[in-house]
C-alpha cells in the first residue's frame, strides 16, 4: 500500500474479505460530501483497492476532498500533479497543493513541500525554508523527514555541522522503518565497527527500497572492506 495512504478505517476495510462492499460504502459517503471518505475513495482508485485502478477517478476525488480542506487529500493532489496521476504533470500546481497541505498540518505535506523547496521543483529553491519544513515534519514523527533533516546536520546545510544530531536523526528514521534512514544508520554503525548491526539494518532496508536505490547501494557495498557488507552486494540476487 502507498506510504502516504490515508488512514481512515474504511481504507483498512478495503483489504478485508469484502472489499467491493467497502468500496460501495465509500462511494456513497463520498457522493454525500464526506471529505474524509472522498480522500480514502481516491486512494482506493489510485491503488486499485476494491476496484480497478483509475488514476483519473483518484484525481477527481482527491480534488473534491482537497477543495473541502482535507489536509491529506491536499498532499495527495500535489502528488497527482507532480507524478501525472490522472492529470498532466504540473510542478507548479503540485507545489501549491503541497504548501496548502503543509500549512494545514499534514506531515506528508510538510515533507513534500520541503522536498520541492530544496530542489526548486515548481517553486523557487529555498533550502533554508526547506530546512524549517523538514524540521516541522520531524516534530510530527515523520520518518523520512528525519533522514533528510539528518543530512542537513551532517553536511552543514543551513545549520552548523553536528554529526551527533545527524546520527540521532538517522537512528530515529531507521526506527520508523524508512529505508533511507536504515541505510544512513547502517553507515553510522559500520563506521563504529558494529558490522553485524549494519548488515541487519541493510537487510531490512533493501526489500523496501526502489530498484534504482538498491542498485546504487549494492555498488557501494561491493567496494566495502568488510566481507559481510560485500556479501550484501549479491544478497537477494
pLDDT in the model for residue 79 = 97
> Judging by beta carbons within 10 Å of its beta carbon (0-12, 13-18, 19+), is residue 226 exposed, middle or buried?
middle
For residues 12 and 14, give the distance between their C-alpha atoms in angstroms, rounded to a whole number.
5
Closest by CA position to 77, among listed 53, 52, 102: 102
pLDDT in the model for residue 1 = 46
Q: What is the mean pLDDT of residues 48-77?
A: 96
Whether the predicted pLDDT of 90 surpasses 50: yes
- Which ranges of the chain would DSSP assign to H, the alpha helix? 9-13, 19-31, 35-47, 55-67, 71-83, 91-103, 107-119, 127-139, 143-155, 163-175, 179-191, 195-205, 211-222, 227-231
pTM: 0.90
All three cell numbers of 221, joined, read 557495498
150-209 pLDDT, tens digit per residue, is: 999 999 999 999 999 999 999 999 999 999 999 999 999 999 999 999 999 999 999 999
113-166 pLDDT, tens digit per residue, is: 999 999 999 999 999 999 999 999 999 999 999 999 999 999 999 999 999 999
Least confident of 22-26, 40-44, 109-113: 22-26
For residues 232 and 219, give the distance between their C-alpha atoms in angstroms, rounded to a whole number.
10
Q: What is the mean pLDDT of residues 9-16?
A: 63
64-88 pLDDT, tens digit per residue, is: 999 999 999 999 999 999 999 999 9
Whether the predicted pLDDT of 3 surpasses 60: no
All three cell numbers of 169, joined, read 536523526
Q: How do the domains of the chain map onto residue ranges? A: 141-237
Q: Are 104 and 71 in contact (CB under 8 A)?
A: yes
Give 222's pLDDT tier (boundaries 50, 70, 90): very high
Least confident of 10-14, 205-209, 231-235: 10-14
Q: Which CATH number fits domain 141-237: 1.10.1060, 3.30.1380, 1.20.120, 1.25.40?
A: 1.25.40
pLDDT in the model for residue 13 = 65
Give 19's pLDDT tier (boundaries 50, 70, 90): confident
Structure letter (DSSP) for residue 232: G
Give 5's pLDDT tier (boundaries 50, 70, 90): low
Longest C-alpha distance within the chain, in Å? 62
- Total length of the chain: 237
Q: What is the mean pLDDT of residues 78-104?
A: 98
Q: Are 136 and 110 in contact (CB under 8 A)?
A: yes
Amino acid at each position: 500500500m502507498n506510504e502516504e495512504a490515508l488512514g481512515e478505517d474504511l481504507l483498512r476495510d478495503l483489504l478485508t474479505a469484502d472489499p467491493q462492499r467497502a468500496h460501495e460504502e465509500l462511494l456513497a459517503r463520498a457522493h454525500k460530501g464526506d471529505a474524509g471518505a472522498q480522500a480514502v475513495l481516491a486512494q482506493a482508485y489510485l491503488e486499485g483497492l476494491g476496484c480497478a485502478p483509475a488514476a483519473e477517478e483518484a484525481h477527481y476525488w482527491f480534488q473534491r476532498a482537497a477543495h473541502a480542506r482535507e489536509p491529506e487529500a491536499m498532499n495527495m493532489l500535489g502528488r497527482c500533479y507532480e507524478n501525472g496521476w490522472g492529470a498532466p504533470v504540473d510542478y507548479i500546481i503540485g507545489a501549491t497543493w503541497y504548501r496548502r497541505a503543509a500549512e494545514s498540518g499534514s506531515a506528508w505535506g510538510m515533507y513534500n513541500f520541503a522536498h520541492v523547496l530544496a530542489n526548486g521543483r515548481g517553486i523557487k529553491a529555498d533550502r533554508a525554508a526547506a530546512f524549517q519544513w523538514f524540521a516541522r515534519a520531524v516534530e510530527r514523527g515523520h520518518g523520512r523527514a528525519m533522514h533528510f533533516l539528518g543530512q542537513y546536520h551532517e553536511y552543514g546545510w543551513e545549520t552548523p555541522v553536528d554529526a551527533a544530531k545527524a546520527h540521532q536523526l538517522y537512528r530515529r528514521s531507521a526506527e520508523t522503518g524508512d529505508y533511507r534512514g536504515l541505510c544512513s544508520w547502517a553507515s553510522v554503525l559500520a563506521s563504529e565497527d558494529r558490522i553485524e548491526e549494519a548488515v541487519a539494518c541493510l537487510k531490512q532496508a533493501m526489500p523496501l527500497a526502489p530498484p534504482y536505490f538498491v542498485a546504487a547501494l549494492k555498488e557501494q557495498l561491493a567496494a566495502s572492506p568488510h566481507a559481510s557488507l560485500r556479501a550484501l552486494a549479491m544478497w537477494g540476487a
